[in-house]
A and B are shown apart, each in its own frame.
Chain A
Amino acid sequence: TQLLEQSPQFLSIQEGENLTVYCNSSSVFSSLQWYRQEPGEGPVLLVTVVTGGEVKKLKRLTFQFGDARKDSSLHITAAQPGDTGLYLCAGAIGSGGSYIPTFGRGTSLIVHP
């Protein structure tokens, strides 16, 4: 069972389209992070959301943390080919008395010119 479920798994769109990817869990998080990973590279942190209901904007990217702090979404407006990559959400999940950094399996996005 994946503790952080991301959907959709794959997304192939044309330049200029809008899209939303989701990150869901039954666990409550003190914070969630979103990363983008390009082929041959490590993930790069995009944003950290901390407060339930919080909305953060990073140029054309809008991140939202659910009110109950169990889910998050990433919306991209007018996608560009440079947005292509694997989008990962991550949070610390309790396990055996400690908290383990946990990543979703990601949404693989391809934006065609």
Chain B
Amino acid sequence: QQQVKQSPQSLIVQKGGISIINCAYENTAFDYFPWYQQFPGKGPALLIAIRPDVSEKKEGRFTISFNKSAKQFSLHIMDSQPGDSATYFCAASSGGGADGLTFGKGTHLIIQP
């Protein structure tokens, strides 16, 4: 049973465009929603995260939008750059995360110059 569904699987965006990746979750106990960025041959690295008490969080060109009633959250990358080409994972955890993160299946993002 997949608790975090991520879409799309792959995404191609032109340089300067907006990249949007969506995730939906089922477990209403989830209270922490991070996004990880992974480059080939490297481990995932935390990009940005949100908790359900806010509907949006912005850090530079990266924004998380969170819709608690719909149980959905999304990552927006503004002014996408070729250096943003990577695999992005959404994740979720609950109760302080003692039992780990539940990850989506990932989105392979390509930014075309």
Real complex partners, A and B?
A: no
- Give A residues with C-beta under 8 Å from B: none
Residues of B participating in the A interface, judged by any CB pair closer than 8 Å? none
